[in-house]
């Protein structure tokens, strides 16, 4: 494992700037050029797989909004690294702040590490500009990949997928299934403890309507009740995994591994070459699950928010 670069040039705002978080990345991604290339590809996959309700490009900054649900789709994201005519300034930040304010949203920014580091001498990224304006760094997140062609898969029959259609019931010994979006939305809300009119998340409902059949909604049942859910999205050769949620009383029983393994196996059979996901750096249970399946960190990102 190799550590991501942490030293940056002076910001011009009262001393040397230091990246707020470090990330242990796979050896294959230790070089910045490799990390940058994969970052640009996966960022594009993320925008396609998890589209915001509203997106607008302002210069080299992509602004995304979705009613406040999920920081990932309610933030500004730089699209290029500094240098080669790209210099971030407070004007870019103020413009983004006005954009979010017009939508009743707090200004926040997502900063992929490869787009912040290794700029020309004296040229800083967007992060030091945000730091100088009082934005706090938070929520370090890992972007992890898995080569599906070389993945050994899950040898257990219980990891194999059963694709059901509305009106069908998965077999008791093979409970992983693709379900219709309405069934999944109700299950996702129940697993997160939402009830009544708030059970179905309207942003997720809109997302699934936008994705259509590209959004595979997976559900694992135990004794006929939702136990784990997950969302898989195919974009080209890539397969993104999102919204994996387990029932609080059924965690640490291997059910999450069973569901994700079924998703990966189905994606590989369908021709996907790479699986990827985003997981909080401090989310140890989820990291144990994903890294146990073979996922490795390609790069990391964090957020800047104004408290």
The pLDDT value recorded for residue 160 is 45
pLDDT band for 164, please (50, 70, 90 cuts): very low
CB 286 within 8 A of CB 123: no
Q: Does pLDDT of 254 surpass 60?
A: yes
> Tokens at residue 85, please?
């005519």
Q: Once rounded to an integer, what is the mean pLDDT over residues 261-276?
A: 95
Beta strand pairing status for 176-179 and 162-163? parallel
Distance, C-alpha 31 to centroid of its chain: 22
Beta strand pairing status for 61-65 and 76-78? antiparallel
The pLDDT value recorded for residue 152 is 84
The pLDDT value recorded for residue 156 is 43
pLDDT band for 165, please (50, 70, 90 cuts): very low
> Tokens at residue 113, please?
């590490």
CB 7 within 8 A of CB 280: no
Q: Which of 45-59, 141-155, 243-257 has the highest mean pLDDT?
A: 45-59
Q: CA-to-CA distance for 116 and 138, rounded, in angstroms?
A: 16
Q: Once rounded to an integer, what is the mean pLDDT over residues 148-165?
A: 59
CB 94 within 8 A of CB 63: no
- Taking the CB of residue 296, how many other CB atoms lie within 10 A of it? 18
pLDDT band for 259, please (50, 70, 90 cuts): very high
Average pLDDT, the chain: 87
pLDDT band for 157, please (50, 70, 90 cuts): very low
The pLDDT value recorded for residue 94 is 96
Percent of the chain with pLDDT strictly greater than 70 = 86
- pLDDT single digits (tens) 6-41: 434 334 444 677 899 999 999 999 999 999 999 999
Q: Does pLDDT of 177 surpass 90?
A: yes
The pLDDT value recorded for residue 121 is 60
The pLDDT value recorded for residue 85 is 78
Distance, C-alpha 182 to centroid of its chain: 22
The pLDDT value recorded for residue 226 is 92
Q: Does pLDDT of 168 surpass 70?
A: no
CB 249 within 8 A of CB 239: no
pLDDT band for 67, please (50, 70, 90 cuts): confident
What is the torsional sign of CA 183, 230, 252, 264?
positive
Q: Does pLDDT of 1 surpass 70?
A: no
Q: CA-to-CA distance for 211 and 49, rounded, in angstroms?
A: 8
Percent of the chain with pLDDT strictly greater than 90 = 69
Q: Once rounded to an integer, what is the mean pLDDT over residues 56-62?
A: 94
Closest C-alpha to 235, from 270, 287, 280: 270
* Element housing 44 (H / E): helix 32-49
The pLDDT value recorded for residue 272 is 95
- Residue 264's SS3 state is helix
* Cα separation values, 17 from 6, 130, 201, 305, Å: 9, 11, 40, 18
Q: Which of 5-14, 159-168, 249-258 has the highest mean pLDDT?
A: 249-258
> Tokens at residue 235, please?
């974009």
Q: At what angle do helices 181-191 and 202-211 cross, to 10 degrees?
A: 150
What is the torsional sign of CA 82, 86, 90, 93?
negative
The pLDDT value recorded for residue 120 is 59
Q: Once rounded to an integer, what is the mean pLDDT over residues 182-203?
A: 92
The pLDDT value recorded for residue 145 is 97
């Amino acid at each position: 494992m190799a550590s991501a670069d942490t030293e940056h040039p002076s910001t011009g705002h009262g001393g040397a700037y230091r990246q707020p978080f470090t990330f242990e990345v796979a050896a294959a991604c230790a070089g910045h050029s490799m990390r940058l290339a994969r970052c640009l590809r996966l960022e594009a996959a993320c925008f396609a797989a998890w589209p915001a309700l509203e997106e607008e490009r302002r210069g080299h900054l992509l602004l995304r909004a979705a009613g406040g649900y999920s920081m990932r789709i309610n933030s500004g994201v730089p699209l290029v690294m500094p240098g080669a005519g790209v210099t971030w300034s407070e004007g870019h930040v103020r413009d983004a702040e006005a954009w979010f304010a017009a939508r009743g949203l707090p200004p926040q920014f997502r900063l992929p590490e490869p787009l912040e580091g290794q700029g020309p001498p004296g040229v800083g990224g967007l992060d030091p500009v945000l730091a100088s304006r009082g934005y706090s760094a938070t929520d370090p997140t890992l972007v992890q990949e898995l080569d599906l062609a070389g993945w050994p898969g899950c040898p257990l029959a219980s990891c194999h997928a059963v694709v059901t259609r509305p009106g069908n019931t998965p077999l008791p010994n093979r409970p992983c299934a693709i379900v219709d979006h309405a069934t999944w939305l109700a299950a996702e809300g129940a697993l997160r403890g939402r009830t009544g009119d708030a059970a179905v998340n309207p942003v997720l409902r809109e997302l699934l309507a936008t994705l259509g059949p590209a959004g595979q909604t997976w559900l694992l049942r135990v004794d006929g009740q939702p136990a784990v859910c997950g969302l898989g999205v195919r974009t080209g050769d890539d397969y993104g995994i999102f919204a994996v949620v387990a029932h609080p009383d059924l965690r640490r029983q291997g059910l999450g591994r069973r569901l994700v393994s079924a998703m990966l196996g189905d994606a590989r059979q369908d021709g996907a070459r790479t699986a990827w996901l985003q997981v909080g750096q401090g989310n140890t249970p989820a990291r144990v699950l994903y890294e146990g399946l073979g996922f490795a960190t390609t790069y990391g990102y964090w957020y800047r928010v104004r408290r």
